[in-house]
Copies of this chain bind each other. A is one copy, B any other.
Protein backbone atom coordinates (compact mmCIF):
# COMPACT_ATOMS: atom_id res chain seq x y z
CA UNK A 1 0.00 0.00 0.00
CA UNK A 2 2.07 2.94 1.16
CA UNK A 3 5.34 1.47 2.36
CA UNK A 4 6.89 -0.58 -0.37
CA UNK A 5 6.24 -4.25 -0.31
CA UNK A 6 9.06 -6.56 0.79
CA UNK A 7 9.44 -7.75 -2.79
CA UNK A 8 9.80 -4.22 -4.12
CA UNK A 9 12.53 -3.44 -1.63
CA UNK A 10 14.29 -6.78 -1.97
CA UNK A 11 14.37 -7.25 1.78
CA UNK A 12 13.93 -10.47 3.60
CA UNK A 13 12.46 -8.81 6.70
CA UNK A 14 8.70 -8.35 6.86
CA UNK A 15 7.74 -4.74 6.34
CA UNK A 16 4.55 -3.60 8.10
CA UNK A 17 1.56 -2.93 5.89
CA UNK A 18 0.28 -0.34 8.30
CA UNK A 19 1.93 2.60 9.98
CA UNK A 20 1.30 2.97 13.67
CA UNK A 21 2.04 5.50 16.41
CA UNK A 22 4.74 8.00 15.59
CA UNK A 23 5.25 6.85 12.04
CA UNK A 24 1.61 7.50 11.27
CA UNK A 25 1.69 10.83 13.08
CA UNK A 26 4.70 11.96 11.07
CA UNK A 27 2.88 11.12 7.86
CA UNK A 28 -0.17 13.00 9.07
CA UNK A 29 1.88 16.07 10.00
CA UNK A 30 3.57 16.01 6.62
CA UNK A 31 0.21 15.77 4.88
CA UNK A 32 -1.08 18.62 7.02
CA UNK A 33 1.74 20.94 6.01
CA UNK A 34 1.30 19.97 2.40
CA UNK A 35 -2.42 20.73 2.52
CA UNK A 36 -1.71 24.07 4.21
CA UNK A 37 0.61 25.00 1.37
CA UNK A 38 -1.64 23.87 -1.46
CA UNK A 39 -5.14 24.76 -0.26
CA UNK A 40 -4.51 27.05 2.73
CA UNK A 41 -5.95 26.81 6.20
CA UNK A 42 -9.39 27.98 5.14
CA UNK A 43 -9.88 25.11 2.75
CA UNK A 44 -7.93 22.48 4.64
CA UNK A 45 -10.20 19.58 5.63
CA UNK A 46 -9.71 16.60 7.86
CA UNK A 47 -10.84 14.47 4.97
CA UNK A 48 -8.23 16.05 2.72
CA UNK A 49 -5.42 15.57 5.22
CA UNK A 50 -6.48 11.96 5.79
CA UNK A 51 -6.50 11.27 2.06
CA UNK A 52 -3.10 12.96 1.62
CA UNK A 53 -1.66 10.91 4.47
CA UNK A 54 -3.28 7.81 3.02
CA UNK A 55 -5.16 7.03 6.19
CA UNK A 56 -8.66 7.34 7.51
CA UNK A 57 -10.46 10.15 9.28
CA UNK A 58 -10.98 7.96 12.33
CA UNK A 59 -7.20 7.82 12.85
CA UNK A 60 -7.12 11.62 12.88
CA UNK A 61 -10.09 12.03 15.20
CA UNK A 62 -8.60 9.51 17.63
CA UNK A 63 -5.80 11.97 18.21
CA UNK A 64 -7.10 15.45 17.49
CA UNK A 65 -10.57 16.85 18.20
CA UNK A 66 -10.46 19.43 15.46
CA UNK A 67 -8.67 20.78 12.45
CA UNK A 68 -7.25 23.60 14.53
CA UNK A 69 -5.73 21.20 17.06
CA UNK A 70 -4.19 19.11 14.28
CA UNK A 71 -2.65 22.07 12.50
CA UNK A 72 -1.36 23.47 15.76
CA UNK A 73 0.38 20.19 16.63
CA UNK A 74 1.74 19.84 13.11
CA UNK A 75 3.31 23.30 13.33
CA UNK A 76 4.74 22.62 16.77
CA UNK A 77 6.26 19.38 15.57
CA UNK A 78 7.76 20.78 12.37
CA UNK A 79 8.99 24.24 13.25
CA UNK A 80 12.75 24.17 13.56
CA UNK A 81 14.47 24.97 16.83
CA UNK A 82 16.00 28.34 17.44
CA UNK A 83 19.22 29.09 15.64
CA UNK A 84 22.23 31.07 16.77
CA UNK A 85 23.22 34.24 15.02
CA UNK A 86 25.99 33.95 12.43
CA UNK A 87 29.36 35.46 13.26
CA UNK A 88 31.44 35.89 10.13
CA UNK A 89 33.62 38.72 11.34
CA UNK A 90 31.86 41.55 9.55
CA UNK A 91 28.44 43.12 9.72
CA UNK A 92 27.84 42.62 6.01
CA UNK A 93 28.94 39.02 6.18
CA UNK A 94 26.69 38.31 9.14
CA UNK A 95 23.69 39.93 7.49
CA UNK A 96 24.19 38.08 4.22
CA UNK A 97 24.54 34.76 6.02
CA UNK A 98 21.44 35.47 8.07
CA UNK A 99 19.30 36.54 5.10
CA UNK A 100 20.48 33.50 3.15
CA UNK A 101 19.30 31.27 5.95
CA UNK A 102 15.98 33.07 6.15
CA UNK A 103 15.54 32.57 2.47
CA UNK A 104 16.23 28.87 2.70
CA UNK A 105 13.75 28.57 5.56
CA UNK A 106 11.05 30.42 3.67
CA UNK A 107 11.27 28.16 0.67
CA UNK A 108 11.25 24.98 2.75
CA UNK A 109 8.05 22.96 3.07
CA UNK A 110 7.60 24.10 6.66
CA UNK A 111 8.29 27.67 5.61
CA UNK A 112 5.66 27.52 2.89
CA UNK A 113 3.12 26.17 5.36
CA UNK A 114 3.95 28.93 7.81
CA UNK A 115 3.52 31.53 5.09
CA UNK A 116 0.13 30.05 4.30
CA UNK A 117 -0.91 30.37 7.93
CA UNK A 118 0.44 33.90 8.13
CA UNK A 119 -1.70 34.81 5.14
CA UNK A 120 -4.76 33.93 7.14
CA UNK A 121 -3.95 35.60 10.45
CA UNK A 122 -6.17 38.53 9.43
CA UNK A 123 -9.16 36.23 9.69
CA UNK A 124 -10.90 35.15 12.84
CA UNK A 125 -10.64 31.45 12.08
CA UNK A 126 -6.83 31.48 12.09
CA UNK A 127 -6.38 33.89 14.95
CA UNK A 128 -5.40 31.14 17.35
CA UNK A 129 -2.17 30.70 15.38
CA UNK A 130 -0.93 34.22 15.94
CA UNK A 131 0.78 33.31 19.18
CA UNK A 132 2.72 30.36 17.85
CA UNK A 133 3.73 32.24 14.70
CA UNK A 134 4.99 35.16 16.75
CA UNK A 135 6.73 32.99 19.34
CA UNK A 136 8.31 30.43 17.01
CA UNK A 137 8.83 32.40 13.79
CA UNK A 138 8.63 36.15 14.09
CA UNK A 139 10.39 36.76 17.38
CA UNK A 140 13.26 34.35 16.74
CA UNK A 141 13.82 36.06 13.38
CA UNK A 142 13.70 39.50 14.90
CA UNK A 143 16.02 38.41 17.68
CA UNK A 144 18.63 37.09 15.27
CA UNK A 145 18.60 40.30 13.28
CA UNK A 146 18.84 42.36 16.42
CA UNK A 147 21.71 40.20 17.65
CA UNK A 148 23.68 40.62 14.47
CA UNK A 149 23.07 44.36 14.55
CA UNK A 150 24.09 44.55 18.20
CA UNK A 151 27.37 42.83 17.42
CA UNK A 152 27.86 45.25 14.57
CA UNK A 153 27.28 48.08 16.95
CA UNK A 154 30.04 46.78 19.23
CA UNK A 155 32.34 46.71 16.23
CA UNK A 156 31.46 50.32 15.53
CA UNK A 157 29.78 49.44 12.26
CA UNK A 158 26.17 50.21 13.18
CA UNK A 159 24.53 53.53 13.91
CA UNK A 160 23.09 52.89 17.42
CA UNK A 161 19.72 54.63 17.03
CA UNK A 162 19.06 52.90 13.71
CA UNK A 163 17.97 49.59 15.23
CA UNK A 164 14.22 49.91 15.76
CA UNK A 165 11.36 47.33 15.69
CA UNK A 166 10.42 48.70 12.29
CA UNK A 167 13.87 48.10 10.92
CA UNK A 168 14.11 44.54 12.19
CA UNK A 169 10.80 43.83 10.40
CA UNK A 170 11.98 45.08 7.04
CA UNK A 171 13.70 41.96 5.75
CA UNK A 172 11.05 39.35 6.53
CA UNK A 173 8.36 41.74 5.32
CA UNK A 174 10.15 42.31 2.04
CA UNK A 175 10.83 38.66 1.39
CA UNK A 176 7.26 37.62 2.06
CA UNK A 177 5.94 40.42 -0.14
CA UNK A 178 8.20 39.46 -3.04
CA UNK A 179 7.19 35.82 -2.81
CA UNK A 180 3.54 36.77 -2.71
CA UNK A 181 3.83 39.03 -5.74
CA UNK A 182 4.63 35.98 -7.75
CA UNK A 183 8.29 36.70 -8.38
CA UNK A 184 9.03 33.00 -7.98
CA UNK A 185 12.41 31.65 -7.03
CA UNK A 186 14.22 33.23 -9.95
CA UNK A 187 12.71 36.64 -9.32
CA UNK A 188 13.76 36.69 -5.70
CA UNK A 189 16.47 39.15 -4.80
CA UNK A 190 19.53 37.43 -3.51
CA UNK A 191 20.67 37.96 0.02
CA UNK A 192 23.37 40.37 -1.10
CA UNK A 193 20.91 42.68 -2.81
CA UNK A 194 18.68 42.83 0.26
CA UNK A 195 21.62 43.56 2.51
CA UNK A 196 23.36 46.05 0.25
CA UNK A 197 20.33 47.93 -1.11
CA UNK A 198 18.10 47.97 1.94
CA UNK A 199 19.54 46.94 5.27
CA UNK A 200 23.08 48.30 5.24
CA UNK A 201 22.08 51.79 4.12
CA UNK A 202 19.66 51.93 7.04
CA UNK A 203 21.96 50.74 9.80
CA UNK A 204 25.55 51.37 8.92
CA UNK A 205 27.57 54.27 10.17
CA UNK A 206 28.56 56.60 7.36
Contacts and interface: CB of A to CB of B under 8 A. Distances in A.
A182 interface: yes
Nearest to A130: B182
A122 interface: yes
Q: What's the number of copies of this chain in the assembled complex?
A: 2
Interface string A158-201: 00001010110110111011111110000001000110011001
B122 A180 contact: yes
Contacts of A115: 122
A198 B167 contact: yes
A69 interface: no
Contacts of A125: 43
User: What are the 8 tightest A-B residue pairs by CB atom distance, in nearest-first order?
Assistant: A173-B177, A42-B42, A119-B119, A173-B173, A201-B202, A173-B174, A166-B197, A42-B43
